[in-house]
Amino acid sequence: MSWLKTLALGLLGAASLATGAHAYDFGRPATAEEVRLWNIDVLPDGTGLPVGSGTALRGRQVFEENCSACHGERGEGGVADRLVGGQGTLTSNLPVKTVGSFWPYATTLFDYIRRAMPYPAPQTLSDDDTYAVVAYILSLNGIVPSTLELDRLSLPAIQMPNRKGFVPDQDFRVIRNSRQP
């Protein structure tokens, strides 16, 4: 295709976007309520965390029922990733990347579990059960006491062991883990 045709197609596409014209004659814009229902991400600072709470005691039960088949009885590995252990290994020749050794934010754990777990039925845990599973995994890693009740205020305050391990490179193009070669 000549550069002139490419330019003309690009201008046509930009014009249709600017005018709101649609290239397809189906669908409709999502309503505010539909967007709200899908907008479930949680940011590192806790923005987006829902109301609810959970303890490691409840989390152990939920984990055993929904997670242990893949992650092992205590999160130490199975057919899916290991969730527990690995502290102090990131600078070694055999780093063990787990929630306890690698993840920089506890809120990211909540976000991931809420959106993607349990396999193969994601988004089936209640918010309370998600807080509980997070509390259980964090307690297995020795990050929080097993008696702590997690909620939208306490979860963002947790300092993960690798919180300061991700730093931008000098040109601020890439974020890398400073504790791993």
Q: Would the pLDDT of 13 be above 90?
A: no
Please identify, in words, the CATH class of the domain defined by 51-177: mainly alpha
**33, burial (CB in 10 Å: exposed 0-12, middle 13-18, buried 19+):** exposed
Beta-carbon contacts of 147 under 8 Å, excluding residues fewer than 6 positions away, are: 55, 56
**pTM of this prediction?**
0.79
* Token output for 139: 């307690």
**Any bridge partners for residue 168, and if so which?**
175
The domain ranges of the chain are: 51-177
Which span out of 18-22, 38-42, 101-105 was modeled with the highest average pLDDT? 101-105
* pLDDT digits 0-9 by tens, 149-176: 999 999 999 999 999 988 766 766 666 6
Residue pair 171/116 in contact (Cβ under 8 Å)? The answer is no
